[in-house]
């Protein structure tokens, strides 16, 4: 398990306003399932989270099942919101042993990532921090001059339109704090209530009328030029995961 986590006495509530912290960060990892261990893993993680990550006297932990993408069939585990200063706290032995007893026999933890929310690029009208069902779109930015700035501009142009139209969806953007080969640079998180959100055409995750709203602001054909083409030219290894929270 992650060897260092968690601060002390940080009261949290799901989907509530984050208080007393000037940035939103989650520590995430993929739990790569061993064959036939779904039920055992879910029960083990729930037992561990209830004891050590319950959101009352420590940051809360969440487990999602990954429905789509290269990690489909596995699980995503996240702790937070948390702080980097929390990482200076060593985990007690009983915490580590509990993970080794209840989680490690059923899955391997891989791809530990610290993601920090970019508040300038994020559109989050209800100030939520998590979602029970989420679409996670991930982008890796090409190396070299101009690529990062172009991607930021594309994301930012979407955010401006969402704000201008008072969109009813949230679109939270996180940056990978420690960029590594094979890992994403940006994660865009769209919470949703029903899979019917994905019916019909349109940009996945965004409101169905969004393209028209965007082109009212930037001109006809602008969405293709300023978003789709920019992301195609300046990013790679793009993935889309739909995740469902395990309760």
Q: How far apart are CA 231 and CA 217, in angstroms?
A: 19
- Which of 219-246 are b and which e, b meaning 16 or more Cβ less than 10 Å from the residue's Cβ? eeeebeebbeebbeebbeeeeebbbeeb
Identify the CATH class of 118-241: alpha beta
Q: What is the pLDDT of residue 21?
A: 64
Q: Which residue has the tokens 């709203």?
A: 213
pLDDT in tens, 10-63: 333 333 334 456 899 999 999 999 988 999 999 999 999 999 999 887 899 999
Q: What is the pLDDT of residue 56?
A: 86
For residue 163, the tally of other CB atoms under 10 A from its CB is: 11
Instruction: Name 229's Cβ contacts closer than 8 Å, sequence gap at least 6.
Output: none
Q: How far apart are CA 83 and CA 52, in angstroms?
A: 17
Q: What is the pLDDT of residue 1?
A: 53
**8 Å CB contact between 126 and 49:** no
Q: How far apart are CA 15 and CA 172, in angstroms?
A: 13
**8 Å CB contact between 146 and 202:** no
Burial class (CB in 10 A: 0-12, 13-18, 19+), 17: exposed
**8 Å CB contact between 169 and 207:** yes
Q: Closest Cα to residue 18, out of 112, 136, 124, 168? A: 124
**8 Å CB contact between 27 and 83:** no
CATH of 25-116, one of 3.40.50.1400, 3.30.70.100, 3.40.50.620, 3.90.950.10: 3.30.70.100
Q: How far apart are CA 21 and CA 43, in angstroms?
A: 31
- Average predicted confidence (pLDDT) for the chain: 90
Q: What is the pLDDT of residue 14?
A: 32
Burial class (CB in 10 A: 0-12, 13-18, 19+), 20: exposed
Tokens representing 229? Answer: 């083409």
pLDDT in tens, 181-224: 889 999 999 999 999 999 987 788 999 999 999 999 999 999 99
Extended strands (E) in the chain:
25-33, 61-66, 75-79, 107-117, 133-141, 172-176, 186-191, 235-245
Q: How far apart are CA 115 and CA 233, in angstroms?
A: 24
Instruction: Name 227's Cβ contacts closer than 8 Å, sequence gap at least 6.
Output: 154, 157, 158, 203, 214
Residues of the chain within CATH 3.30.70.100 domain(s) are 25-116
Read off the pLDDT of each residue in 77-93 and give the average, rounded to a whole number.
92
Tokens representing 73? Answer: 């069939």
């Amino acid at each position: 398990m992650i060897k260092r986590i968690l601060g002390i006495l940080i009261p949290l509530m799901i989907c509530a306003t984050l208080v007393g912290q000037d940035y939103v960060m989650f520590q995430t990892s993929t739990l790569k399932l061993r064959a036939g261990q779904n039920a055992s893993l879910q029960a083990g993680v729930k037992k561990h989270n209830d004891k050590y990550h319950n959101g009352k006297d420590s940051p809360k932990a969440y487990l999602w099942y990954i429905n789509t993408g290269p990690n489909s069939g596995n699980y995503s585990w996240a702790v937070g919101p948390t702080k980097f200063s929390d990482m200076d706290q060593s985990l007690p032995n009983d915490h580590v042993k509990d993970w080794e007893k209840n989680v490690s026999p059923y899955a391997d933890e891989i791809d530990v990532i610290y993601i920090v929310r970019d508040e300038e690029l994020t559109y989050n009208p209800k100030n939520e921090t998590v979602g029970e069902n989420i679409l996670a779109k991930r982008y890796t930015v090409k190396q070299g001059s101009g690529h990062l700035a172009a991607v930021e501009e594309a994301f930012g142009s979407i955010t401006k339109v969402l704000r201008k139209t008072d969109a009813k969806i949230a679109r939270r953007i996180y940056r990978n704090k420690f960029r590594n080969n094979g890992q994403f640079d940006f994660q865009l998180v769209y919470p949703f209530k029903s899979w019917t959100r994905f019916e019909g055409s349109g940009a996945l995750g965004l409101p169905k009328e969004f393209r028209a709203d965007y082109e009212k602001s930037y001109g006809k054909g602008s969405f293709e030029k300023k978003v789709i083409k920019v992301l195609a030219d300046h990013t790679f290894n793009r993935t889309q995961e739909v995740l469902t929270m395990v309760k």
